[in-house]
Amino acid sequence: MFTRFKAKFTRIDEIVPGIYKLSVSNDKKFIFSQFLILDECPILIHTGRAEWFDQIYELVSSVCDASKLRYIAFSHLEADECGSLNRWLEAAPQAETIVSRLNQSNIDDFALRPTTVLKKNKALSLGKREIILIETPHFPHGWESCVFYQPQEEILFCSDLAAHPGQFDEPVTDKDLTESIIKFQQKVGFMCEGKSFTQGIEAVEKLPIKYLATMHGSIIRGESIANLLFEMKQSFGA
Ligand SMILES: [Fe+2]
Ligand SMILES: [Fe+2]
């Protein structure tokens, strides 16, 4: 394993009771976040890169028995989404990998155990809470992509959508970051554009969303979310 992105900084924040944001960063200029939902069946959303496994395992262990993790889920095939999947499958023997229909053949090719498909718009019960898989091909990027919605707290785990730099020390923000998110995306260009972008936004914009939980940056909370989705659709949609 070639180590390029050492995580010099880590932090864990409880966003709502029992739901945690676990962040790592090399320089606080760009953040990679995982999300942990504690319930009868705890789930980790994004594993992080393989080289961060020990640090993320330690963060998870600070709030629960990490070896009892029941589910692992992520949006698409990329190192920050699922790089340490096999480390987690070894460390948590009961853990099951939840994938979209479009991602199963990718992940089954290298995962230590067979994956389980969660059909689109179907809910996976975690106990008191559930998550729903929304298929969003090419959105934010990658044909196999999906996002996850947690209806009880109205959280959209949106992977790279709404990525923005910095904000390591502000895990959740009520600020309207629309302008900086659009500028950042125009600069880096890692999301899809055109018809797939429009379809991706349309798959989520009607949901009640209190928290937009992006992998990169602050979780965006509150009223600016609807405006952000609208402005992104204007900028990057068909
Ligand atoms: Fe990605
Ligand atoms: Fe990412």
- Give a yes or no: residue 63 inside a domain: yes
Classify residue 214: in a domain, yes or no: yes
For the chain, how big is the Rg over CA atoms in Å? Answer: 16
For residue 48, the CA-to-ligand 1 centroid distance in Å is 11
75 Cα: distance to centroid of ligand 2 (angstroms): 9
Q: Is residue 57 a contact partner of residue 91, using CB atoms and an 8 Å limit? A: yes
Distance of CA 57 from the midpoint of ligand 2 (Å): 19
Of the listed ligands, the closest to the CA of 80 is: 2
Please count the residues of the chain: 238
CA of 101 to the centre of ligand 2 (A): 20
Residue 225 resides in a domain: yes
Share the mean pLDDT of the chain. 96
* Residue 220: alpha-carbon gap to chain centroid: 13
Write the CATH number for 190. Answer: 3.60.15.10
Read off the pLDDT of each residue in 30-52 and give the average, rounded to a whole number: 97
In a domain, 221, yes or no: yes
Cβ atoms of 167 and 218 closer than 8 Å: yes
68 CA → ligand 2 middle, Å? 25
Ligand nearest to the CA of 34: 2
What is the 3 state secondary structure string of 22-80? EEEECCCCCCEEEEEECCCCCEEECCCCHHHHHHHHHHHHCCCCHHHCCEEECCCCCHH
Residue 185: DSSP 8-state:
H
- Each residue's pLDDT tens digit, 208-227: 999 999 999 999 999 999 99
pLDDT average, residue stretch 115-137: 97
- Output the six-digit token pair for 127: 């106990």
Tell me which ligand sits closest to the C-alpha of residue 146.
1
2 falls within a domain? no
Residue pair 62/86 in contact (Cβ under 8 Å)? The answer is: no
Q: Tell me the residue range of the domain where 106 lies.
A: 9-236
Per-residue pLDDT for 21 more than 80?
A: yes
34: in domain: yes
Q: How far is the CA of 150 from the centre of ligand 2 (A)?
A: 19
Instruction: Kindly give the distance from the C-alpha atom of residue 217 to the centroid of ligand 2, in angstroms, as a whole number.
Output: 10
Indicate whether 1 pLDDT > 70.
no
Ligand 1 centroid to 138 CA: how many Å? 10
- What distance in angstroms lies between residue 17's CA and the mean position of ligand 2's atoms? 25
Q: How many domains does the chain have?
A: 1
pLDDT surpasses 80 at 228: yes
Q: Is residue 1 part of a domain?
A: no
pLDDT at residue 3 in the model: 60
Do 34 and 26 form a contact (C-beta atoms < 8 A)?
no
Examine residue 208 and state whether it is found in any structural domain, yes or no.
Answer: yes
Q: How far is the CA of 45 from the centre of ligand 2 (A)?
A: 12
Per-residue model confidence as pLDDT tens digits over 84-112: 999 999 999 999 999 999 999 999 999 99
Instruction: Report the separation in Å between the CA atom of 140 and the middle of ligand 2, taken as the mean of its atom positions.
Output: 9
